[in-house]
Structure 1
Amino acid sequence: MAKYHRILSAALLVAYSAAAHALFSDDEARKAVNELRARVDEQQRRLDQAASSESLLRLADAIDELRREITELRGQVEVLHSRIDLLDKRQKDLYVDLDNRLRKFEQAQAERDQAAQAAAAEQQAYEAGLAHFKANNYGAAIQALQSFLSTYPQSQLAPAAQYWIGNAYYALRDYKAAIAAQDKVVQT
């Protein structure tokens, strides 16, 4: 039995030592795995940090690019505002110039219309006196033509009116008045 104990003890010792060795190896393996995990976690953290830094750098570059574009766009907006202001001023100047020209044209047209109306009234007054003369109504002709001369003394028809006044006096056989009227024609 002692032999049996010895064998059993030896077997237990071998089994225990193998188990202890297995336990020891398992702890070391766990420790190694934990160290590897820690290293992997550290590498992952560094990689994330690097990626984050790279993302931040890219983001900063993108922000700088956007700032440059904004500055460029602001410059373009200023140029466009200047052009708009210049075009507004030009448009106002053209409007004022056009308005002035239209006013001058309208004034000239109004003056021409007034002159035409005056000429028409002048012509009518002259023809009314002449119509009296042609109707052998010499007294009315003299009166109408003298009224014409007092109203339109600078008329181009004034010498003709004076002539017909002289003829009307002649027809009335007032030769002195006829000569005086005809002298006025010669003087004008």
Structure 2
Amino acid sequence: MTDNNKYEVAIFAGGCFWCMVSPFDVLDGIAEIVSGYTGGHLENPTYKDVKSQTSGHYEVIKVTYDPEIIDYEKLLQAYWRQVDPTDEGGQFQDRGPSYRPAIFYTTDEQRQKAEASKKAMDESKRFPNPIVTPILQAVKFYEAEDYHQDFYKKSPVEYKEDRKISGRDEFIQKYWGEEYYDIYND
């Protein structure tokens, strides 16, 4: 990143952060994606702390993007297509507080857009249950350990195995089908 003033940041929780990086990484206008933790009460949490489900943190991705190339609404579209927004107890095979879905806004404009997007998603009745994904103000972000960064690239076999058994892809196919690919092929 050369001109930091032109970039904006979006933060999303959608279960295991390993599975959240690759769908955003392929979008044009993404400068950087960092896996990390936010929302808890422990300073400088480690993966072990967060995985213990006692620190209060969510596993998240921090997406730095160029709003002249990709807008926040497109990021929200990508987000909704990665998660089960009706499950407040975790995501797919990953259960517990650290795996809850959430959208963390960094500006009031993001909050408004996220709330409108959530309302539209709920009103669409795409899912049989109500959308429970919270829209929360971003708080301190802690970068995850290096081995978690770009995990799908560093450990493709483990990533593919974990994703395959998670149930995420079956859920996406069931609720989004071909529409899933629409946002990636604009």
Q: Which one scores higher on RCO, CA 8 angstroms, separation ≥ 6?
A: 2
Higher fraction of strand: 2
Higher fraction of helix: 1
TM-score after normalising by structure 2: 0.21
Bigger radius of gyration, 1 or 2?
1
